[in-house]
Homo-oligomer: A and B are copies of this chain.
């Protein structure tokens, strides 16, 4: 393999996670080990930063700040939902890469981002510009194919299981068989996060909370679920429900949207949790319903991050650099689980094209027949991922996170008019 001398560019894309910055830290740490890498740049706000030549010098950041990235939520480089579409956009990306001698491009993101990375890699190849492109997986949705799981997912699950355990203590003390408590979690098209709440149950305690998990995969049967709730309330002091925001009815309509317009005809912003609360209040007289909607908190909960997840995110960053140095390109780093009883993982590589256009669904046979709980196959899959706690440093009683200096790299091109 001929040594490729040049600069690194790292970008982050899509919704952030609690551990996406750990991958950036992994990339920087590893890049510093290789002499063929001259500069380490970051693109501000994903591809937008590339288009507008908004680059920062990551090597000039203090080691303290880079280390702090390992426990800092959000995307420290900024991110965007802008999707490169026009040929002109892609041409511009290469123009910027050439202007800054970018030879290694690492893009951390979900499906769309891997698709973008794939297209950039292919265009560079067409044009004979030597560039190595490696995608780093990231998404709380856990829906990327090929990889066993996605960095970011386990920390979202750990946030939710922590919430379930704590809310259960509160509900247990307040309920008298008349309390329904709803936690609405993210997951518009897949129930990976809601399913993860099942990890809050102790082994062999199927009656532990959450008593009911409502997944987008199982269409909402109002009559059956009301019966499920009544049954739980006969047995327990309270019924704790975890509902995915993307819960749909038998016709495939979001439960959240049903009839939800206010007096002015505006669609209500309330979600599946509020809609479910309304249905329960109407159908089960005398119950008190409480709704919690942690929203963004569940994807940025660094203080409840899984250490396994944070470590693996760092590892995928390192692995991306190693793979590129070894001549790989147009690939995404995957996480592969060992075969043994004891959980182990190592990184692998998959063609970006294989990742970009497919989605990993929650297997139907990991859901119990009751449609509201997860079986041992899911638990065996998810349990190892949430192990270990991360310590976030505090200052004055509040968590303290990395703050990058963001030293700008001089622009050399005319402004982009695309």
Chain B nearest CB, measured from A17 CB (Å): 9
0/1 string, A151-178, CB within 8 A of B gives 1? 0000000100111011111111110100
A170 touches which one: B163, B281, B296 (CB < 8 A)? B296
- The answer to whether the Cβ of A304 comes within 8 Å of any Cβ in the partner chain is yes
Flag if B269 contacts A174 (CB, 8 Å): no
Flag if B303 contacts A304 (CB, 8 Å): yes
Grouping DSSP codes into helix (H, G, I), strand (E, B) and loop, the A interface class, with mixed when no group exceeds half, is mixed
Beta-carbon contacts under 8 Å, A353-375 to B: none
**Residues of chain B within 8 A of A396, CB atoms compared:** 199, 203, 383, 387
- The answer to whether the Cβ of A139 comes within 8 Å of any Cβ in the partner chain is no
**Residues of chain B within 8 A of A262, CB atoms compared:** 259-262, 268, 278
Total interface residues on A, CB under 8 Å, equals 76
- The answer to whether the Cβ of A401 comes within 8 Å of any Cβ in the partner chain is yes
**Residues of chain B within 8 A of A166, CB atoms compared:** 18, 73-74, 297, 300-303, 399
Flag if B266 contacts A278 (CB, 8 Å): yes
Minimum CB distance partner of A166 in chain B:
B300
Chain B nearest CB, measured from A234 CB (Å): 18
A296 touches which one: B167, B264, B266 (CB < 8 A)? B167
Beta-carbon contacts under 8 Å, A62-89 to B: 72-80
- The answer to whether the Cβ of A291 comes within 8 Å of any Cβ in the partner chain is yes
- The answer to whether the Cβ of A12 comes within 8 Å of any Cβ in the partner chain is yes
**Residues of chain B within 8 A of A383, CB atoms compared:** 396-397
Beta-carbon contacts under 8 Å, A293-321 to B: 293-297, 299-304, 306
A14–B383 Cα gap in the complex (Å)? 35
Minimum CB distance partner of A386 in chain B:
B397
Minimum CB distance partner of A79 in chain B:
B173
A293 touches which one: B80, B199, B291, B300 (CB < 8 A)? B291
Given A73-B169, A270-B270, A161 and B397 contact (CB-CB distance below 8 Å): yes
Flag if A388 contacts B397 (CB, 8 Å): yes
Chain B nearest CB, measured from A341 CB (Å): 15
Chain B nearest CB, measured from A144 CB (Å): 20
Flag if A277 contacts B269 (CB, 8 Å): yes
**Residues of chain B within 8 A of A2, CB atoms compared:** none
**Residues of chain B within 8 A of A200, CB atoms compared:** 398
Chain B nearest CB, measured from A252 CB (Å): 20
0/1 string, A40-70, CB within 8 A of B gives 1? 0000010000000000000000000000000
A80–B172 Cα gap in the complex (Å)? 11
A72–B173 Cα gap in the complex (Å)? 12
**Residues of chain B within 8 A of A263, CB atoms compared:** 259-261
Given A79-B174, A290-B295, A304-B303, A169 and B266 contact (CB-CB distance below 8 Å): no
- The answer to whether the Cβ of A147 comes within 8 Å of any Cβ in the partner chain is no
- The answer to whether the Cβ of A394 comes within 8 Å of any Cβ in the partner chain is yes
**Residues of chain B within 8 A of A76, CB atoms compared:** 169, 173
A65–B166 Cα gap in the complex (Å)? 16
- The answer to whether the Cβ of A181 comes within 8 Å of any Cβ in the partner chain is yes
Flag if B278 contacts A274 (CB, 8 Å): no
**Residues of chain B within 8 A of A387, CB atoms compared:** 396-397
Given A161-B397, A170-B296, A389-B394, 19 additional A-B pairs, CB 8 A: A73-B170, A75-B173, A75-B174, A161-B398, A162-B303, A163-B297, A165-B399, A165-B400, A166-B301, A167-B296, A260-B262, A266-B281, A268-B274, A268-B278, A269-B277, A269-B291, A293-B293, A303-B304, A387-B396
